[in-house]
A and B are shown apart, each in its own frame.
Chain A
């Protein structure tokens, strides 16, 4: 009997030492930051999103986009954006290569985290304004249009001195380099506008509006004729609001998915040039072809 109690006690001690304590002590040493992020944070985000769509957006827009695309249909960003994000994950994982095979899981997890990092998580609209010198403009315009088409983008507008192209966000830098290589860049202005708040605001309003519409439709089925007319009017208003919000979300998604590169072939605006300090040499302004080639009046 004594031996039995002693064995039982020893067994309990071993159980606590080997197995029982493990779930509490393991995570800090074995779970990578990436693992923790993907395994723990995401469900919280999921729950937070489901419970309160109007709360400040969590730093995971990619997931939010995916979630939204499942739930809201039209509001989802262009399909290729999601594809690109997947491609990016794959490419990043591939980049880890076999050199990290011994810690393969960790590398993959870390790379996945890199894709989900705050930088990518922000919904940014990239825009570049490039001013090029005025030389062989027509071939340069053709070349830039070709760059857009060759990189999965499209031409937005073009005239004799200006062109605006849209490029998939993931190829923005590459496209910008190619555009700049097609001429002599005088001035360059690149900006990234963070529209994360605006995106989630519209998304939340859309979700609420849809919920209202669904409730009204349910009420409409049970309502008497007089009430039904009022509900119908309100339903029309809400439906209109939904359409407007869907349009806004679609436009915003497009702006996020496709960066804009605008190229101007013209001397910089005189206002911008005048901001530059002027040298006290009036003859500088006489240099150039018009005066040189004017052989009539001197």
Chain B
């Protein structure tokens, strides 16, 4: 009976957590208070962060809607160059999309990946960015972190 209670408690904890992501070696998780549910950085300021936005209503799990909306926002609104688009899947099987952008800040090229998973009840966004050379060096770690995301 005690074991059952413990298991129930653990499941409850997992259920309350908005998102689950592993921190790759070389990254330091930051204590978050703002709009990010999670944020970690390397010493070279390659940053990975997670946002969780509550969603309700029909269509909130529409992947193509969010792909278009986020592409418009980043390209037309912010002037980011869309370099690649990839289909992705969270560790717990939710389908998502990864938009890979490039953008100059103060004349220097930066990389910015925006990965998102619409579950229907929430939209989980994983942002990753940094100066292009440093980001390229940490890309495999960033990718590993994104692949470790559980959204349910």
Contacts and interface: CB of A to CB of B under 8 A. Distances in A.
Contact of B105 (A138, A283, A289): A289
Contacts of B35: 283, 286
Contacts of A288: 74, 78, 80, 103, 112
Interface string B86-107: 0000000000000001111101
A84 B27 CA distance: 61
Interface string A271-288: 001001001010111111
A284 B73 contact: yes
Interface stretch (A40-48, A116-124, A171-179, A290-298): A290-298
Contacts of B101: 135
Interface string B40-54: 010001010101010
B108 to A, nearest CB: 10
**Could you say which of A138, A289, A290 has the most chain B C-beta atoms within 10 Å of its C-beta?**
A289
A295 to B, nearest CB: 6
A293 B129 CA distance: 7
A281 B114 CA distance: 16
A288 B112 CA distance: 7
A292 B129 contact: yes
Interface in A240-298: 265-268, 273, 276, 279, 281, 283-290, 292-293, 295, 298
A113 B89 CA distance: 59
Given A134-B104, A135-B103, A136-B104, A283 B51 contact: yes
A137 interface: yes
Contact of A134 (B33, B69, B73, B79): B79
Contacts of A268: 76-77, 79
Contact of A287 (B33, B82, B125): B125
B15 interface: no
B45 A287 contact: no
Nearest to B72: A276
A288 to B, nearest CB: 5
A295 B79 CA distance: 23
B75 A135 contact: no
B107 A133 contact: no
Contact of A135 (B34, B41, B76, B109): B109
Given A279-B69, A295-B30, A267 B78 contact: yes
Given A135-B104, A138-B107, A281-B53, A295 B112 contact: no
B75 to A, nearest CB: 5
A183 interface: yes
B79 A266 contact: yes
Contacts of A183: 81
Contact of A133 (B30, B69, B82, B110): B82
Nearest to B65: A279
A295 B47 contact: yes
Given A184-B81, A273-B76, A287-B73, A137 B104 contact: yes
A155 interface: no
B61 interface: no
A216 B70 CA distance: 71
B14 interface: no
Contacts of B41: 295
A186 interface: yes
B130 interface: yes
A184 B83 contact: yes
B74 to A, nearest CB: 7
Given A133-B103, A295-B45, A267 B79 contact: yes
18 contacts: A133-B103, A134-B80, A134-B104, A135-B81, A136-B102, A137-B107, A184-B75, A184-B82, A186-B75, A186-B79, A268-B79, A273-B76, A284-B73, A286-B35, A287-B127, A290-B105, A295-B41, A298-B32
Interface of B: 30, 32-35, 41, 45, 47, 49, 51, 53, 69-70, 72-83, 101-105, 107, 109-110, 112, 114, 125, 127, 129-130
Interface of A: 132-138, 160, 183-184, 186-187, 265-268, 273, 276, 279, 281, 283-290, 292-293, 295, 298
